[in-house]
Each structure stands twice: as C-alpha cells, then as structure tokens.
Amino acid sequence: MRLVATYAREQRRPLVLAVTGSVVYAAGSVAGALALGTAVEWTIDRFFAGDDPRTLLAATLLVGIMIVRSAGVIARRFYAGMTAAGARADLQHRIADRLVAIPLERVQARPRGELLAHLDADTEAAVDVIHPMPFTVGVVTMLVFSIVSLAAIDIPLMLATLILLPIVLGLSIFNARVIQASTERERAANADVTTAATELIEGTQVVKTLGLEDHETARFTGIVDRHRRARIHYATIQLTIDSAFSLLPQLAMILIIAVGTLRVDSGALDPPALVQAVALFSVMAFPMQVIGFFLVDLPRSVVGRDRIETILAEPDDPLRIPEGPGTLPSTALGGELRGVAVGDPARPLLRHADLRIEPGETLAVVGATGSGKSTLLEALARLRPLREGGASLDGIAVDTIADDHLRRHVTFATQQAALFGGTVRESVDFGRGFPTEEVDLALERAGAGDLADVLPDGYETVIGERGVTLSGGQRQRVALARALVGDPGMVLLDDATAAVDPALEEQILATLAELPTTVVMVTHRVAAMAAADRVAFVEDGAVRAIGTHAELQGEPGYARLVAAYEFEALDA
C-alpha cells in the first residue's frame, strides 16, 4: 500500500475531490437501498392496507437519491481521471529530468526501447491503480454503511453477509501475490517488443540492403510472440480471479435470501425489511468485488512503478556543476589535457593522454577506430569522468566551470546529428532564445544556407521527428549550425561533417577557420587533415604525435592511416 500512500501525497487535491465524490455515491447507494424498503412500505403496504399510497413522495425520494448518486459518480470519475493524468505527467517529467541528470554512459548503456517503455507503458501501468482508488475508498465507506444498516434491520442476516468478506479479502491477497510474477514477466516482455520495434524502424535500410527481411520479420515475430504468451498468461490468471469474484456474491445472495425467507416465515422479519436487506446486500456485494479487483490490479501498478524507480534511483551525474567559480572569456579558447585517463583501468578509453590546443586554431584529431578520439573530445567538454589527470580551458579547470557557462562557450556536434521536431530555425536555436539573425547566420556558416531555397517553407519548414525529412548531409549541417550559433569560444566536431559532400566540407572548414573560435575536429578525410592548422594522431588511448599534416608524414602509424583513408576515398 506504499504506492497508494505515495500517490495520495503527490496528488492530494484532485484525489481528495475524487474520494469525496465516491463517498457521496456510496452514501447515496446505501440510502437508495434503504429508501427502496421505505418506498415499498409507502406504496404496496399502504395499498393493501386500504390507505392511499404515497407514490409521488416515494418516487421523489428515489429520484432525489439517484441524482445525488449521479453527481458523486461524475465527481469521482472526473477527478480520478485528473489525478491519474497528473500522476502520469509527473512521472514522465521526473523520468525525463533524471535521464538528462544521470551520467551519459548510464543512459547509453540502457536499450532505447526500455527507456521508451519506462516513459510510456510503465507510466501508464504505474498509475492504473489510481482510477479505482477513489472508488475503492468510497465502496469501503459503502460497505461500512451497509453493514451498520443491516445490523439495524436484522443481526442474523448481517452475520450471514459477513461470511463473504474474509473470503474475498483472503482470495484477493493470495491472488495479488500470484499475479505479480506474471505481471513482471509481461512488463519485461513489453519492453523487449518496444526495443525490437525501435531497432526494426531505425534499421529498415540495413535490413533491406542485406536482404534480411525474412530473418528480421522472424526475429521480431518471435519477440512479439513471447509478449503475447506473457499477456495470455497474465490475462488467464486475471480472468480466473475475476470469475471467482463474480461468482462469490451470487452464492452469498442465495444464502441471504434463504436465511431471510426463514426469518420472515418465523415472524422475526417483515417483507419490506427483507427487501431492504436484499438491496443492501446487493450494495455490499459490489464493494467487495471492487476491493478484490483493486487488490488484484495493484501488482501491475507496483511492477510498473518499480521499473520506473530503477531510473529515478540513478545517481546524479557527478560532472554536472550547477555553480562554479570558473569563468571563460568570450574569445577563442585554448585547451589542455594533462595525463588524462578515462575508463576502466583494465580497458581504458584514454591512458595518460596529453594535448595542448592553441586559441583560435583548427586541430584535427585522427586515429583508428576505437583509439580514443571521441573520448578525447568528451573529456575536454566534461562529458566523461576523468580517472586520472585534468582538463582545462584557457587555464581554468573544467570541473570548476558551471554547466550553463561551459555549454555556452564550448559546443559539441557529432556524426549522429540528433535533431528534434520543429522547424529548421527551432532545431538550431533549441529553446536558447537566440535572435533570428544569429540563427540564420549560423546556418550560412554551416553551409546550410541553401535550405532556405530548397525546402518548401525555407527555414520555417518543419523537419519532422529526428529530422527525417532531411538528408544525412543536411541534418549534419543543421546540427553544426546549432553548435555555431552564439559564437562559442570552442567548437568540438566528432565526425560532424562525415555525410557532407567533400567540396562543401572544404568550404565549411574554410569559413570556420575565419571565425574567432577554436575548432577541434575528429575526421577521417585527408583533405580536412591537410587544411587543419595541426593534427593530433591518437593511438591506443594516447596522443602519439602532433604537428601539421606534412610534419606527421614521417610517423609510420599516421602514414598508414592516411594511406588507408585515401584508399577508402578512391574506393568510394
């Protein structure tokens, strides 16, 4: 019940209103059952006694109670829906906030489908318990009112009805434990389907080019089938429990009618009182079923919330520094890495790397795949924790610079060129509030000025989810413009122009060289290496050599790498 208490604290106001509506409905239901017996007395009994039946008064009483009950139902449903929507939105906000607050490698280590499941299916499951929660509180009230009213009518009948209560509660608690394991399997299988669907959508081109349509379809079908079996197992258990809860009140009703008939026959109870008792039991049976269903549904929400808690419990990124004394100048920045080691000592990404970057220069970083090039840039931008050594910008340690200040002066663009839904201008500005003129200038500098002419609405064209309407080169240029807007002091490019035409890339690099900024770029194009002021050759997690492209030709490892790049370019 900790989950119920948690939601009661987090969504107090709408939940209180929903419970109030439910209590009104409960009171109205009990009052309606009692009024039914009174109506029988006012109409049928008076008719057979030769008196004028009070039909209008009885009808008015019953209709009035029905109106009150309806008002309670409306309030309960409206505010229960508001409570659930608010709780889900709050969970989604907290998950999103945690995803950007935890270490980058922790996010990258989780399958994308699992993260999507946390935001979507798991949040939905986690708040499912809220919908019946106010009703359950109300029906508990209804149950208490009904038992008290039955006791006032006839104690033996009241005791007969109470036989059902411990059976329902015991069955609910037992089945809740049984169904939790099935729920956990179903939630995990659902996350697997989301992951597989994400991979299928993103890898459609790869599947087609390799001719693996049948293989991928079979793989995805197998994952979906596992989820189907998990769902069927869960549904079978739930159906069995629901059937038991539906059958028990009917059996109990037979017992109540039998006992009540004997009581009437013995003269201990009159017919109107029996009608009241049967109506009250009908009111009681429903709350017992609702309580049972609530306890059975609760494990699904608990499992969903537990899965979400695995994200919410992640520690803050130690690299996030909200405030710091370090201040960077609004000029081209220099940088330095001193004996930097990153990653597990057994499998380091960088090992004692040293690098000095001059303000305003264009530095190309090259090396074989897995040599540590990207990690070098991430260490400089404080995106990776340093196991040893230190990183500084203009002589200021990066771990003393506040986040917003650092991100304003040092920007990053990668080969993936992640874009967000919206227009071209919105993707470049990304909510930072830059003037339109600066955004347009950044697009021009990034070689994306032609988009104003080739896209239907120019820079106001909506580029779709993840920039799907743009080509790979166009996406990279828009992402580069996002890094250039605001005139940062240092721009880090991790193969950020790999999909751009070589001739256009040459123009872009020439433009960047004229800007008052420092450019550090990972590249595999020989022309870009030759155009750079200096080249840093990275091998096995360390900077092996640094100098101009011509100076490094005597370095055997660098010469082999250049030859491989040139052969690759010719082969393409």
Kindly report the three-state secondary structure assignment for every residue of 534-570: EEEEEECCEEEEEECCCHHHHCHHHHHHHHHHHHHHH
Judged on CB neighbours under 10 Å (0-12, 13-18, 19+), 481 is buried
Domain ranges of the chain: 2-312, 335-571
Residues 29, 32, 33: CA angle, nearest 5 degrees: 90
If you ran DSSP here, which 8-state letter would residue 462 be given?
A: B
- With 0-12 / 13-18 / 19 or more C-beta atoms within 10 angstroms meaning exposed / middle / buried, residue 504 is middle
φ, ψ for residue 393 (rounded to 5)? -125, 120
With b for 16 or more beta-carbon neighbours within 10 A and e for fewer, the 367-376 pattern comes to: bbeebbbbbb
pLDDT at 107: 82
Contact 558, 537 (CB under 8 A): yes
Please tell me what DSSP assigns to residue 332.
Answer: P
Please report, in tens digits, the pLDDT of each residue of the chain (572 residues total).
677 677 767 777 888 888 888 778 777 776 776 676 666 666 655 555 555 556 667 677 778 878 888 888 888 888 888 888 888 999 999 998 888 888 877 887 787 778 888 888 888 888 888 877 787 777 777 777 777 877 888 888 788 777 777 776 677 667 667 777 777 788 788 888 888 887 777 777 677 766 777 888 888 889 899 989 888 888 887 777 777 777 777 777 787 788 888 888 887 878 777 777 777 777 666 666 666 667 767 777 888 888 888 888 888 877 777 788 888 888 899 999 999 999 888 888 999 899 999 999 999 999 998 899 999 999 999 988 898 999 999 999 998 998 889 999 999 998 888 887 788 998 899 888 999 999 999 999 999 888 888 888 889 988 866 667 788 888 899 999 999 999 999 999 999 988 888 889 999 999 999 999 999 999 999 999 999 999 999 999 999 999 999 999 888 999 999 888 887 766 55
DSSP state letter for 423: B
Q: Which two tokens stand for residue 147?
A: 């038992």
Q: Alpha-carbon distance 554 to 556, whole Å?
A: 6
Q: If we measure between CA atoms, which residue out of 470, 496, 465 comes closest to residue 483?
A: 496
Whole-angstrom distance, CA of residue 518 vs CA of residue 532: 11
CB neighbour list of residue 157: distance below 8 Å, 6 or more residues apart: 150, 256, 259, 260, 263, 269, 277
CA distance 5 to 356: 56
CATH superfamily, domain at 2-312: ABC transporter type 1, transmembrane domain (1.20.1560.10)
**Burial degree of 512 (CB within 10 A; 0-12, 13-18, 19+):** buried
Reported as half-sphere exposure (CB side, CA atoms, 13 A), residue 531 has a value of 21
Q: What type of residue sits at position 183?
A: T
Alpha-carbon span 518 to 336, nearest angstrom = 13
Asked if the 335-571 domain carries CATH number 3.30.70.120, the reply is no
Say which residues have a Cβ less than 8 Å from residue 411's Cβ, sequence separation at least 6: 482, 483, 484, 486, 488, 490, 491, 492
Task: Give the length of the chain.
Answer: 572
Instruction: Give which of 488, 30, 489 is closest to 287, Cα–Cα.
Output: 30
Strands annotated E in 19-172 = none
Cβ-in-10-Å burial (0-12, 13-18, 19+) of 497 comes to buried
Alpha-carbon gap, residue 265 to 262, rounded angstroms: 5
Strands annotated E in 265-406: 335-342, 350-357, 362-367, 388-393, 396-397
pLDDT at residue 53 in the model? 57
CB of 446 closer than 8 Å to CB of 480: yes
Q: At what angle do helices 12-40 and 133-153 cross, to 10 degrees?
A: 30
**Max intra-chain CA distance, the chain:** 122
Query: What confidence score (pLDDT) does residue 465 get?
Result: 66
The HSE-up count of residue 406 (CA atoms within 13 Å, CB side) is 28
pTM exceeding the 0.85 threshold for the entire prediction: no
Asked whether 378 and 384 are in contact (CB, 8 A), the reply is yes
Asked whether 387 and 345 are in contact (CB, 8 A), the reply is: yes
